[in-house]
Amino acid sequence: LAKTTQPISMDSYEGQEVNITCSHNNIATNDYITWYQQFPSQGPRFIIQGYKTKVTNEVASLFIPADRKSSTLSLPRVSLSDTAVYYCLVGRHGSSNTGKLIFGQGTTLQVKP
Amino acid sequence: DSGVTQTPKHLITATGQRVTLRCSPRSGDLSVYWYQQSLDQGLQFLIQYYNGEERAKGNILERFSAQQFPDLHSELNLSSLELGDSALYFCASSVGGGSSYEQFFGPGTRLTVL
């Protein structure tokens, strides 16, 4: 499993765009990059997943450079409700693989008014 | 609502006791995962079952065991409980067995060992 490194914490203000970068230098060819969000006392929630280039959904964008050794989660125009812990994970595709996810410390995002 | 249910929501027990936590996955999901989250340890992967069989093991203590039944619900058994076992226990499910499949987490069971 590829190890990931991301900032421990970040502060932002409402309405700003937030970019959280994660490094995963040992990512393997079959690995996908997934981001989860967790609010206090709740289980993590899937935000977005990608393999390469750029992925966008209704809540976030994920930018992955060609070498795939890092990825950036972009949250447009954050609000106070986006205050949470964000986890970057690298996982293997295919049902024959394990679903073991190694959650690191994550990035605690604090959005201020 | 993720579609994953966990019971009970809260559990208070004493050291040395044994408890069972229950999880029902989303309809159609074959994989069930158990995680432990305590204040000082973060979210720790314990074990995964896929279609009734153990698929992966994480930092699960020997005092803990789990199983997945034919109807795909799962139980996590914790025995000889210690104060340090106090934590939030999350169950998650996914349609596939690989870690790139989206995992849907339940609301958790908060275990307090006194």
Specify whether the CB–CB gap between A101 and A91 falls below 8 A.
yes
Q: Chains A, B: CB contacts under 8 A, how many?
A: 94
Whole-number pLDDT of residue A103: 79
Q: Is the pLDDT of residue A106 over 80?
A: yes
Whole-number pLDDT of residue B46: 94
- The predicted-structure confidence for B70-97, as pLDDT tens digits, reads as follows 999 999 999 999 999 999 999 999 998 8
- Spatial separation of the C-alpha atoms in residues B25 and B5, rounded to whole Å: 7
Dihedral sign for Cα B104, B106, B108, B109, please. Answer: negative
Whole-number pLDDT of residue B101: 86
Q: Give the pair of three-digit tokens for residue A63.
A: 């930018």
- The predicted-structure confidence for B3-46, as pLDDT tens digits, reads as follows 999 999 999 999 999 999 999 999 999 999 999 999 867 889 99
Among B103, B104, B109, B112, most A C-beta atoms within 10 A, so best to mutate, is B103
- Residue contact B103–A89, C-beta within 8 A: no
The pLDDT-based confidence of A78 (bands split at 50, 70, 90) is very high
- Secondary structure of B20-38 in HEC code, one letter for each residue: EEEEECCCCCCEEEEEEEE
A40 touches chain B (CB under 8 A): no
Among A52, A62, A97, A105, most B C-beta atoms within 10 A, so best to mutate, is A97
Whole-number pLDDT of residue A19: 98
Give the chain B residue nearest A49 (alpha carbons): B100
Nearest to B42 among A32, A94, A105 (CB): A105
Helix %, strand %, coil % for chain B, to 5? 5, 55, 45
Whole-number pLDDT of residue A95: 64
Whole-number pLDDT of residue B87: 96
Residue B84 makes CB contacts below 8 A (sequence gap 6+) with: B38, B113
Pick the range with the lowest mean pLDDT from A65-69, A88-92, B45-49: A88-92
